[in-house]
């Protein structure tokens, strides 16, 4: 199992310790995550589910909670 993050982004500019920047810094978008030999995140996109559908269902549920 492993993950990979592209460190050539603005949020990492000027960093001295990549591990500390990822562990102790702000949330970071992961470029690749592999678990059990299978991609979970590939090129920054969730590979195991339809992220758009998840967002849509979440928004519908949130709206329903707010209007009840």
Beta bridge partners of 4: 32
pLDDT at 31: 96
pLDDT at 58: 97
What's the topology of domain 2-67?
Urease, subunit C; domain 1 (2.30.40)
pLDDT at 1: 98
Interatomic CA distance for residues 68 and 65, integer angstroms: 5
pLDDT at 21: 82
Beta strands (DSSP E) in the chain are 2-4, 32-35, 38-42, 45-46
Query: SS3 for 34?
Result: strand
Interatomic CA distance for residues 15 and 19, integer angstroms: 10
- What are the residue boundaries of the structural domains of the chain, listed by start? 2-67
What is the tens place of the pLDDT at every residue in 6-62?
988 888 888 889 888 888 877 888 999 999 999 999 999 999 999 999 999 999 999
Beta bridge partners of 41: 33, 46
């Amino acid at each position: 199992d492993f993950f990979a993050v592209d460190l050539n982004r603005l949020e990492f500019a000027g960093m001295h310790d990549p591990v500390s920047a990822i562990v102790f810094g702000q949330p970071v978008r992961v470029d690749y995550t592999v678990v059990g030999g299978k991609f979970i995140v590939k090129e920054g996109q969730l590979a195991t589910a339809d992220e758009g559908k998840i967002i849509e269902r979440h928004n519908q549920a949130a709206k329903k909670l707010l209007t009840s």
